[in-house]
Chain A
């Protein structure tokens, strides 16, 4: 690759001039896109940081007063929503992994000529607006609907109510509905990376494990799963991060008792118009997510994510 990019040996002036121009090529390629990201991604973060230490009101205007108290007050008031967000997002991520792994495995190793059909069925729902699909869960989980009826007659709802996941004879407007919606919405983000990393595994490794008298379970534990780790890591990140900031599922499927931190940020920004508190909340969320992600990546020991 370096042979391509290196300039030819400079013999005389014109060639050297061309090589200078050539050396600038990557910068011309980078500048427009990077400028976009700096102006509309990085700079806004700075603005938000400054907003979070302002005080004032909408009528009188906001002033930077380095009022860091906002952070503490916001966290103190809304820590239940933070805890709930992380709990819901974590549970949904775990469920996505448990549900997504068999499907990814099926597509990678067992689907044969059905592989493309199943892949299309995993990707195609993306094109029906996710809001429409989330609203469909309202129909599926409706109080008198078949799902609730079945869960009720199997006494599942008794158990989940006892655990605090549902309330009485309903699923809608309970934590279970929100987690179900989150799991559903982010499942493809788990399946696709899992599938990509499973597909890369050389099937001869499975044969070799079998030849060495490994049971299917041992083969999975010692060969398949470790080799799929890059997919597991990027899948869990792609699920957990957006789920922790989501407010759509909690709004449409939960009740007012199940507000997540995304709902709080949204209402502070767009309804209450308390910009400093909203900015502080979103920075706290960002900090928590970045710390968790960094620790997780260190633990999982994979650097090649992008």
Chain B
């Protein structure tokens, strides 16, 4: 009993972790299912068919590659624009900083459906063709704020004396930026870029409004909830989970090794 009382937080925390992971486990298990009918909601029997033929469903891999392309470009756009804003906000004093800060904060403090709907009214009024470009524009828009926040946090904790030292050692402004500023800010920029990629790749609500008849991967999954969910969706979900874990763990290992060699 005393043991239970002492470890109540650990038990509660692990229970929450189980709640978080449970759907991933279910997705993984059901990627080996052979469903009866169009929906993959109940277990029938073990099969590796879906894993052997992950693109065997019409249009699924096309939507997947479209999502990857959009996420890549949205990441590039939002990271470049966001990093520039973050540097300006942290490093310079100018008028209208407060207004600019709220303009950056607001997209994060707005229900997604409101942004999605208002962007659609803009595109409708301009008579824009909904599709790849409208999706990309929307994704850069909502990823921007997150990148600014991530980079800002890192740049704020940077010691400006390092750059002063570089300048004292006769480094030019460009050299200082490339050799000193950028490497120090890099973790913040990478974090912002990863966040942007994940947000863009997974976005459904804003894409749903502004995609027209273009189908991204989340839209394919959404449609499949009505038409029938192929097992291949679980295969992709599992693969993404595994890749994410491997990438993060590998990143940790590299960071650890670098830390160790720096110490040695």
Q: Which residues of A contact B (CB under 8 A)?
A: 1-5, 25-27, 29-30, 32-34, 36-38, 40-45, 47-48, 51, 99-100, 102-107, 110, 116, 118, 120-140, 142, 144, 184, 187-188, 191, 237, 241-242, 244-248, 252, 262, 265-266, 269-270, 275, 278-279, 282-283, 285-286, 289-290, 293, 305-306
Chain A residues with CB below 8 A from B118, complex form: 44-45, 47-48, 279, 282
Residue pair B241, A285 in contact (C-beta under 8 Å): no
* Closest Cβ–Cβ distance, residue B10 to chain A (whole Å): 6
B221 within 8 A of A: yes
Residue pair B20, A121 in contact (C-beta under 8 Å): yes
Chain A residues with CB below 8 A from B236, complex form: 129, 132
Closest to B7 in A: A110
- Expressed in whole angstroms, the Cα–Cα distance for A110 and B11 within the complex equals 11
Residue pair B109, A293 in contact (C-beta under 8 Å): yes
Closest to B13 in A: A106
Give the contacting residue for A140; candidates B16, B26, B121; CB below 8 A.
Answer: B26
Besides A34-B103, A123-B244, 7 other CB < 8 A contacts?
A: A36-B141, A125-B20, A128-B24, A133-B237, A136-B23, A139-B26, A262-B111
* Closest Cβ–Cβ distance, residue B37 to chain A (whole Å): 14
Beyond A33-B81, A265-B113, whether A127 also contacts B30 by CB under 8 A is no
Residue interface bits B18-35, CB-to-A below 8 A is 1, else 0:
011111101100100000
Residue pair B141, A40 in contact (C-beta under 8 Å): yes
Residue pair B21, A125 in contact (C-beta under 8 Å): yes
Chain B residues with CB below 8 A from A305, complex form: 105
B138 within 8 A of A: yes
Chain B residues with CB below 8 A from A102, complex form: 9, 12-13, 15-16
Closest to B234 in A: A132
Q: Can you report 5 A-B residue pairs in the complex whose CB atoms are below 8 A from each other?
A: A29-B87, A30-B84, A120-B249, A246-B113, A270-B208
Chain B residues with CB below 8 A from A142, complex form: 41-42
Give the contacting residue for B9; candidates A110, A282, A290; CB below 8 A.
Answer: A110
B233 within 8 A of A: yes
B93 within 8 A of A: yes
Beyond A48-B118, A129-B237, A184-B23, whether A103 also contacts B13 by CB under 8 A is yes
* Closest Cβ–Cβ distance, residue B34 to chain A (whole Å): 15
Interface of A is mostly: helix
Which stretch from B49-57, B182-190, B198-206 is at the chain A interface? B198-206
Closest to A290 in B: B109
Chain A residues with CB below 8 A from B163, complex form: 4
Chain A residues with CB below 8 A from B122, complex form: 40, 43-44, 47-48
Residue pair A128, B240 in contact (C-beta under 8 Å): yes
Residue pair B104, A140 in contact (C-beta under 8 Å): no
Residue pair B218, A131 in contact (C-beta under 8 Å): yes
B254 within 8 A of A: no
Residue pair A133, B9 in contact (C-beta under 8 Å): no
Beyond A4-B163, A133-B27, A270-B208, whether A32 also contacts B240 by CB under 8 A is no
Residue pair A266, B113 in contact (C-beta under 8 Å): yes
Closest to A138 in B: B41
* Closest Cβ–Cβ distance, residue B88 to chain A (whole Å): 4
Closest to B148 in A: A33
Residue pair B23, A1 in contact (C-beta under 8 Å): no
* Closest Cβ–Cβ distance, residue A285 to chain B (whole Å): 6
